[in-house]
Structure formats: C-alpha cells, structure tokens
Chain A
Amino acid sequence: MKTLLIVSHPDILESGSQQYFLSSLKENVAVTLHHLESIYPNGKIDVAKEQALLKQHDRIIFQFPFYWYSSPPLLKHWQDVVLTDGFAYGNRGNALAGKEFGLILMIGIPEREYQAGGSELFSINELTKPFQAMSHKTGMKYLKPLTIYQFAYLEEEQKMDLLIQYWQKLTMEDEVSLKARETWLAAELEQAMEKAAGTQEAEIFQYAKSLIEENRMTIDGLKIVLDQMHQN
C-alpha cells in the first residue's frame, strides 16, 4: 500500500508538532510526503501533476492544523482545483473510487472542549463533515481521523504513543485488532532488523518478532479450544 500524505501548513518550520511527526518519516518508503506550501509557494497548483500523484497512491491523508474548524487556505484551494468534475466525481470521474481517505489534525484546544457543553460546542466528527462528504462523493473510504490535541503539553512517552498511532494511520490496514497490530509491528521490526543488520539490536528485534508470532499461535490455539468448549 502506498500512502500520499498531503500536508498543509503555512509556517511548517516553526511548528514543533509538524516537525516532530514529519521528521520521523525520512526513511519511510511507503509514504510520499507532499507539503503544499513548499511545493507551491506562489499558490499556483499544477493540477495534472497532483491528479497523477493521487492516482499512484492507495491511501490519501490530509494533515493540517485545525484553523477555524477547517484547513489552511492552500489545501482548500487544492481541493477546488484538483478534485474536478470528470476526475474525482461526475461522469467518468472515478479516479479516487476505492481509495482510502483520512485526516490527521493538530488541534490547539483540549479534547474535552469538542462536545456539547464544551467551549467548541461541537465534536470533531461534526466539524469535519465537509471532508467526510468529499470522501463520500469521490468514492473513497473515510478512515477514523487521528486527532492530536495540545501536542506541546504532552510527556515524551505520550508523544511516542502518538507517533506509533501516526505511523499506523499512514501504513497499517484499516483495522485495529490485536492481530492487525501484530502483523503491522512484525513488518516494522523486519525493517528495523534490515537497518541494524549484523548488530545485537537486530538479534533482539528478531527474538521479539519470533515471540510475537509464537504468542499469536498460542492465542489462535486457545481460541480453538474455547470455541470447541462453547459448542459443547
């Protein structure tokens, strides 16, 4: 699976949260990082190039700071000019049908405020309806969003937990079961082993990967026993 990560942020170098997540992707070949403001500083979007890029990927992600309940202006402009009739919708406009679409939002206000009674009144699910509608109209499957609240206030370990969720949002199948996370992690460990080939680290990763696989066999075996017991 190839993921196109479309980032929109007008001042990305000054954003600690954006830098934290994006710098972790340097060696990730499964993700194409596409920061709109860097590529189009004058705002003039190459529509044919963008449409070709969309076609080459299976999962499309928009990542941006949630400004006034929407995206920065260049991402809205990108939607206006790239997702055209005949390409993304309308007669023969099925270039995105069957792909997956998701949002990664950086939010400066605490999560608890996004509900009735909170200072923002509405939930993120309510406030992101235009993106859900866009996904629906273009035939893409809408993924659960990854919402990152008040990043600067997080402890280091909380940031790491979010980073794992971030990588999963970009590269893991749309499924969060224990089994799906095992498969995803085993593939990540495989890559870490290749990177650390010949070192003690690689050996430890190999042991960990084998243990995860053995545990899975145990779980599946226990499941069979339980199913049989429940049938009797």
Chain B
Amino acid sequence: MENEEWVLQELERLYHSSQDYNQVTLIKATQELIKEQMKRIYQMEGEIDGTLWSPKRWSE
C-alpha cells in the first residue's frame, strides 16, 4: 500500500502544479482508476477471507 499511496501523492502534487489541461484530466482519471483497483483488490481479499471462514468449511 505504501507504494500506492506514494504514487497517488505524486499524482496529486502534479494535478495541482500542471498547466496542461489534458494532462490534469489524465492525472485525475489515473488517480481514480488506481483507487478503483485498490477497492477491487480489497473486496476480493474480503471475499477470500469470508469464504475461508464460511461455516460450510468448518467440518473440513
């Protein structure tokens, strides 16, 4: 997660300093896509945890 936070911070810095509108727009889309990926990973990890702890598996 540290790497992700660092990249997001750097993108945020560039978002505020860039003078190129297309570049700023691309940065915003990049930040949002990375956050969406992180959410997807978090959800999938949660699904794995949930499945491992399912009562269906307690008898195994």
Contact = CB atoms under 8 A, between A and B. Distances in A.
A216 B28 CA distance: 19
B37 A219 contact: yes
B33 A185 contact: yes
B38 A215 contact: yes
B3 A192 contact: no
Contact of A225 (B11, B38, B48): B48
Interface stretch (A65-73, A88-96, A147-155, A157-165): A157-165
Interface residues of B, number: 29
A212 B38 CA distance: 10
Interface residues of A, number: 32
Contacts of B7: 204, 207-208, 211
A218 B34 contact: no
Nearest to B45: A222
Contact of B51 (A178, A205, A229): A229
Interface string A168-187: 00000000001001100100
A207 B10 contact: yes
Contact of B29 (A164, A216, A230): A164
Contacts of B29: 160, 164, 185, 188
A201 interface: yes
A223 interface: yes
B37 A178 contact: yes
B41 to A, nearest CB: 6
| Highest count of chain A CB atoms <10 Å: which of B7, B28, B29 | B29
Given A222-B41, A229-B48, A182 B14 contact: no
Contacts of B37: 178, 182, 212, 215-216, 219
Interface string B22-52: 1111101110011011101100110110011
Interface of A: 24, 27, 157, 160-161, 163-164, 178, 181-182, 185, 188-189, 192, 196, 201, 204-205, 207-208, 211-212, 215-216, 218-219, 222-223, 225-226, 229-230
